[in-house]
Amino acid sequence: MTDSFSLQDATVAIVGLGLMGGSLALALGAQNACRRIIGVTRDGKTCQAALDRGYLDVAGPELSLASEADVIILATPVRTIIEQLPQVGQVARQGAIIMDLGSTKHAITQAMQVLPPHVEPIGAHPMCGKETFGFEAAEATLYRDATFVLTPLARTSAPTLALAESLAINVGARPTVLDAARHDEIVAITSHLPFILASTLMTTAAELARDDDSIYTLAASGFRDTSRLAASDTTMMLDTLMTNRENVVVAARACSRHLDELANLIERQAEDALRAMFQDAATRRRAIFKP
């Protein structure tokens, strides 16, 4: 068993200093939430930019920097996390917590199960983000009021879960424990489907515009908001979708079916059915997000 420790006394290593990892470093630093912060990034410019902000004690390209850390947080795209885990398991000190911020949780927690017994793995997924990315998009307030999903493994100890919850609270988020497989089912609906729709909106618009880009002078806030996620980082999204294929395919096909149904109803001028469908969607949307 591991000795438990408090976040306040911990050295935290963050691997990947993009939007999520960079914002976490800034949030922990701004709150003075832990003893030291170590940054790991292969990008030299990001490394310097992160050090310039004054919160990191050390930053560099080598995963071995994480060997001093009590908490190691992987903030890279999902499949990079899965690649990095074995190496992180090797460099991690006795009792170190290994956490990740990946967008899907089943594949990552599966990979965490085979980590050596001297480390304490736990999955995490803070429900926040932006369509801009990289350290230059990072901000200390990104996690504020976000739901911070934690997916403990069977081997995850209570003190490790408690420390992860404390970390979430320290950056202003609301920790919520969830089963990894259920997490992936849900985010296919609430996160991956919206990305797919936004991207497909851009693809469809480009096809229908037939090279007349002047159509976008008529694009107002509706188009802007519905298409926003299409600008997301492609590598991150591809990793996300590829590690949640079954759920995403079900969601995309269900949506395609509803769209076809809608097109048929509009063609047939089936106004009562359309009114009921739109009204129901409007009522649900207003219940979830109060104006």
Nearer Cβ to its own copies (114/238): 238
Closest contact distance (angstroms) between CB of 31 and its own copies is: 21
* Residue 133 neighbours by CB under 8 Å, 6+ apart: 18, 19, 232, 233, 236
Closest contact distance (angstroms) between CB of 3 and its own copies is: 33
Tell me if 128 contacts its own copies by CB under 8 A: yes
Site map (CB under 8 A) of its own copies, residues 22-61, x = contact: ----------------------------------------
Can you list the positions of beta strands (E) in the chain? 11-15, 36-40, 58-60, 71-74, 97-100, 120-126, 147-152, 174-177
* Residue 282 neighbours by CB under 8 Å, 6+ apart: none
Closest contact distance (angstroms) between CB of 18 and its own copies is: 15
Stretch that binds its own copies, among 1-9, 60-68, 85-93, 251-259 (CB under 8 A): 251-259
Closest contact distance (angstroms) between CB of 251 and its own copies is: 6
Q: Which of 71, 149, 163, 164 binds its own copies (CB under 8 A)?
A: 149
Nearer Cβ to its own copies (56/138): 138
Site map (CB under 8 A) of its own copies, residues 216-245, x = contact: xxxxxxxxxxxxxxxxx-x--xx--xx--x
DSSP state of 239: H
DSSP 136-169: GG--TTTTTT-EEEEEE-TT--HHHHHHHHHHHH
DSSP state of 40: E
Query: Alpha carbon of 47 to those of 42, 83, 136: distances in Å?
Result: 8, 21, 11
Measured CA to CA, the distance from residue 107 to residue 109 in angstroms comes to 6
Nearer Cβ to its own copies (51/231): 231
Tell me if 144 contacts its own copies by CB under 8 A: no
Query: How many residues sit in the footprint of its own copies (CB under 8 A)?
Result: 91
Tokens representing residue 290 in the block: 């109060």
Tell me if 127 contacts its own copies by CB under 8 A: yes
Q: Which of 131, 161, 162, 181 binds its own copies (CB under 8 A)?
A: 131
* Residue 200 neighbours by CB under 8 Å, 6+ apart: none
Tell me if 94 contacts its own copies by CB under 8 A: no
Nearer Cβ to its own copies (3/207): 207
Q: At what angle do helices 19-30 and 44-52 cross, to 10 degrees?
A: 20
- The side-by-side arrangement of strands in the sheet containing 36-40 is 58-60, 36-40, 11-15, 71-74, 97-100, 120-126, 147-152, 174-177
Q: Which of 48, 83, 86, 259 binds its own copies (CB under 8 A)?
A: 259
List the interface residues with its own copies, window 182-211 (CB under 8 A): 183, 186-191, 193-209
Closest contact distance (angstroms) between CB of 158 and its own copies is: 23
Q: Please, where are the H alpha helices in 210-270?
A: 221-227, 234-242, 245-267
Measured CA to CA, the distance from residue 16 to residue 3 in angstroms comes to 27
List the interface residues with its own copies, window 162-181 (CB under 8 A): 176
Closest contact distance (angstroms) between CB of 171 and its own copies is: 15
